[in-house]
């Protein structure tokens, strides 16, 4: 499923607004889907927690913590709305935070659903150094990590956080940078 | 004469001041309104971002954003009928 994928190699159906004629997309990356597990876990907990409370509340003649039924409904509604906002915010942020690697440049799209978007890019002739890191057990098991680009541009460092196949991505960027500086 | 028998552990809105009851209604109303605003922002941002990066999955995200907006209005109606139009 495309809406849950984090790694696209030479995608045919993906384009971006500032794509130049003849510019080919090599990779489109998001954070590895496994990085979503903590907030998904929290969301599932948040969704089922009121059910436990309601189970107690329905079978009890006394109100829990002395809460009136009207206030009880208000609190549950508020709880579910905040949970929904949290889920939507987390998912949309993950979905639209994209790294694009083309044969001409590297583009980093930072997106926040409530506030802003920021697009940074650099061409390969400005890339001075590339590296990647896989720091912990999860990174190794699920094959994701961070890729770093040192550039001579205004934005000194590009950091691709928790992207899948970091060694492949770093290798490809390194190849393009080497070709650009020849 | 004040007696302890009048005191219960349960908060009862009949005994609460109408101001307290109203403030709870108002709080829920504000939260639902903020949720509608959030849903509108999500729709707008999804459309903005869909123009920046065009992928096959965008149509699903747009549908989801509209669905959420529709849900927020249905929810608002439900809450209004529950809390305000009583």
Would you say A71 and A139 are in contact if contact means Cβ atoms under 8 Å apart? no
Strands A105-111 and A98-102 come out as antiparallel
CATH value at residue A125: 2.30.29
Cβ pair B56:A14 closer than 8 A? yes
Whether A118 and A174 map to the same domain: the answer is: yes
Q: What is the pLDDT of residue B84?
A: 63
The predicted complex's ipTM stands at 0.81
Whether A42 and A65 map to the same domain: the answer is: yes
B 67-86 residues with CB < 8 A to A: 68, 75, 79, 82-83
In the block, residue with structure tokens 């020849």: A182
Mutate to test the interface with B, among A95, A102, A120 (most CBs of B within 10 A): A95
A 57-96 residues with CB < 8 A to B: 62-63, 66-68, 70-71, 73-74, 77-78, 81-82, 84-85, 88, 92, 95-96
Please indicate, yes or no, if residue A75 is contained in any of the structural domains: yes
Please indicate, yes or no, if residue A147 is contained in any of the structural domains: yes
Whether A27 and A107 map to the same domain: the answer is: yes
In this predicted model, what pLDDT tens digit does every residue of A87-96 receive, in sequence order?
999 999 999 9
Q: What is the pTM of this model?
A: 0.84
Given a cut of 90, whether residue A174 has pLDDT beyond it is yes
Q: What is the pLDDT of residue A2?
A: 78
Give the list of residues 6+ apart from residue A71 with CB closer than 8 angstroms, or none.
Answer: B11, B24
Whether A122 and A151 map to the same domain: the answer is: yes
Given a cut of 70, whether residue A173 has pLDDT beyond it is yes
Q: What is the pLDDT of residue A146?
A: 95
Whether A120 and A72 map to the same domain: the answer is: no
Q: What is the pLDDT of residue A93?
A: 92
Q: What is the mean pLDDT of residues A74-97?
A: 90
Closest CA to A98 of A152, A2, A21, A163: A163
Whether A27 and A110 map to the same domain: the answer is: yes
Band (A52; pLDDT cuts 50, 70, 90): confident
Residue A170, judged by CB atoms within 10 A of its CB (0-12, 13-18, 19+), counts as: buried
Please indicate, yes or no, if residue A2 is contained in any of the structural domains: no
Q: What is the mean pLDDT of residues A14-31?
A: 93
Residue A134 backbone zone (phi > 0: left; psi -120 to 50: alpha; other: beta): beta
Instruction: For residue A94, give Cα distances in angstroms to A43, A99, A113, A175, B77.
Output: 15, 11, 10, 28, 31
Whether A27 and A102 map to the same domain: the answer is: yes
Q: Burial letters for A33-68: b for 16+ Cβ neighbours within 10 Å, e otherwise?
A: bbbbeebeeebeebeeebeebeeebeeeeebeeebb
How does the average pLDDT of chain A come out, rounded? 88
Give the list of residues 6+ apart from residue A132 with CB closer than 8 angstroms, or none.
Answer: A145, A146, A147, A148, A166, A167, A169, A170
- Identity of the highest mean pLDDT range in A7-11, A74-78, B73-77: A7-11
Q: Which two tokens stand for residue A101?
A: 């690697």
Round to whole Å and give the CA distance between A49 and A114.
27
Band (A71; pLDDT cuts 50, 70, 90): confident
Range of the domain at A160: 7-15+23-31+97-181
How many domains are there within chain A? 2
Q: Which two tokens stand for residue B37?
A: 């605003």
Q: What is the pLDDT of residue B5?
A: 47
Closest CA to A3 of A17, A19, A14, A18: A14
What are the strands, taking DSSP E only, across chain B? 53-54
B32 touching chain A per CB within 8 A: yes
> At residue B57, what are phi and psi to the nearest 5 degrees?
-80, -10
Q: What is the pLDDT of residue A51?
A: 87
| Beta partners for residue A98, in sequence order | A109
- Which residues in B lie closer than 8 A to residue A72 (C-beta atoms)? none
Whether A106 and A147 map to the same domain: the answer is: yes
Band (A57; pLDDT cuts 50, 70, 90): confident
Q: What is the pLDDT of residue B2?
A: 46
Distance from CA of B81 to the nearest CA of A (A): 13
In this predicted model, what pLDDT tens digit does every residue of A147-158 receive, in sequence order?
999 988 666 788
pLDDT in tens, chain B (86 residues): 444 444 445 555 555 556 666 777 788 888 889 999 999 999 999 999 999 999 888 999 999 999 999 999 998 888 888 766 55
Whether A60 and A87 map to the same domain: the answer is: yes
Cβ pair B53:A98 closer than 8 A? yes
Would you say A147 and A131 are in contact if contact means Cβ atoms under 8 Å apart? yes
């Amino acid at each position: 499923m495309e809406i849950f994928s984090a790694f696209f190699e030479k995608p045919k159906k993906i384009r971006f607004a500032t794509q130049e004629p003849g510019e080919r997309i090599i990779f489109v990356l998001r954070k590895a889907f496994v990085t979503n597990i903590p907030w998904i876990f929290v969301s599932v907990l948040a969704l089922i927690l009121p059910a436990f409370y309601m189970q107690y509340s329905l079978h009890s003649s006394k109100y829990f913590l002395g809460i009136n039924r009207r206030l009880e409904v208000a609190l549950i509604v508020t709880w579910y709305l905040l949970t929904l906002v949290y889920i939507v915010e987390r998912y949309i942020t993950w979905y639209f935070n994209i790294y694009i690697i083309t044969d001409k440049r590297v583009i980093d799209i930072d997106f926040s659903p409530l506030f802003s978007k920021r697009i940074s890019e650099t061409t390969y002739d400005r890339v001075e150094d590339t590296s990647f890191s896989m720091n912990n057990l999860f990174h190794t098991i699920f094959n994701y990590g961070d890729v770093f680009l040192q550039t001579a541009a205004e934005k000194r460092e590009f950091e691709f956080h928790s992207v899948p196949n970091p060694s492949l991505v770093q290798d490809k960027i390194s190849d393009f940078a080497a070709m650009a500086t020849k | 004469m004040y007696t302890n028998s009048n005191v219960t552990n349960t908060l009862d809105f009949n005994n609460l001041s109408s101001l307290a009851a109203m403030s709870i209604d108002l709080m829920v109303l504000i939260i639902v309104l903020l949720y509608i605003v959030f849903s509108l922002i999500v729709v707008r941002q999804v459309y903005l971002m869909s123009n920046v990066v065009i992928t096959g999955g965008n149509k699903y995200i747009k549908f989801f954003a509209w669905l959420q907006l529709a849900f927020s209005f249905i929810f608002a109606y439900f809450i209004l009928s529950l809390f305000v139009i009583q």
